[in-house]
Amino acid sequence: MIICIDSCVFIRALQDETSDAAQVPGTMGTAVTLVIPRLIAQEVARNLNHPQQIKTFYRLFSHTNFAFIVDEPVPPSLVWRYTTLGLPAKADAYIGAFAEWMGVAYFLSDNRHFLRDLQTDAFEVITPGEFLQMRGAD
């Protein structure tokens, strides 16, 4: 299973170690692969307050074989499609297009635009808590 995690979830996980978001990385491994676009990594780093939090974030990607930051460009036609679905072009549409392009099964987000507004069959948008409940059922 391939997942993508929104920047807001990473930020919450790194700022509150007791949150459901902080538990998500522990569920990854051979059965769950994480992919994120460089845009999400930049957003996370820009919004963290402490250098140690940034190191912890990047360590997830540097010491594993199941988490990847993808630098390749997302096909513009997919980005355009997500803007026509009503997502802002410079961020949310790009991330939605990335998730579809990468074959993501679940996009974990607390972002109300994704959770409420996005209507796509390409992937499912769920909260970290919903993902943890789902993984607990495995």
**What's the whole-model pTM score?**
0.91
Rounded CA-CA distance 98/14 in Å is: 23
Q: What is the pLDDT of residue 118?
A: 73
Each residue's pLDDT expressed in tens, for the chain with a length of 138 residues: 999 999 999 999 999 999 999 999 888 888 899 999 999 999 999 999 899 999 999 999 997 889 999 999 999 999 999 898 888 777 888 999 999 999 999 999 988 666 566 778 899 999 999 999 998 855
Q: What integer pLDDT is reported at residue 119 of this predicted model? A: 75
Q: What pLDDT sits at residue 26?
A: 84
pLDDT of residue 53: 94
Q: Strand order of the sheet with strand 106-108?
A: 67-70, 33-37, 2-5, 106-108, 124-126
Separation of alpha carbons 108 and 6, rounded Å = 6
pLDDT value of residue 103: 97
Q: Strands 2-5 and 33-37, how do they pair?
A: parallel
Instruction: Produce one character per residue of 97-125: b if its CB has 16 or more CB atoms within 10 Å, e if not.
Output: bbbbbbebbbbbbbbeebeeebebebbbb
Biggest alpha carbon–alpha carbon distance for the chain: 40
CATH topology of domain 2-136: Rossmann fold (3.40.50)
Residues whose CB falls within 8 Å of the CB of residue 132, separated by 6 or more in sequence, listed in order: 20, 23, 24, 27
Q: 13 with 24: CB under 8 angstroms?
A: yes
Q: In this predicted structure, what is the pLDDT of residue 63?
A: 77
Structure tokens at 65: 């074989």
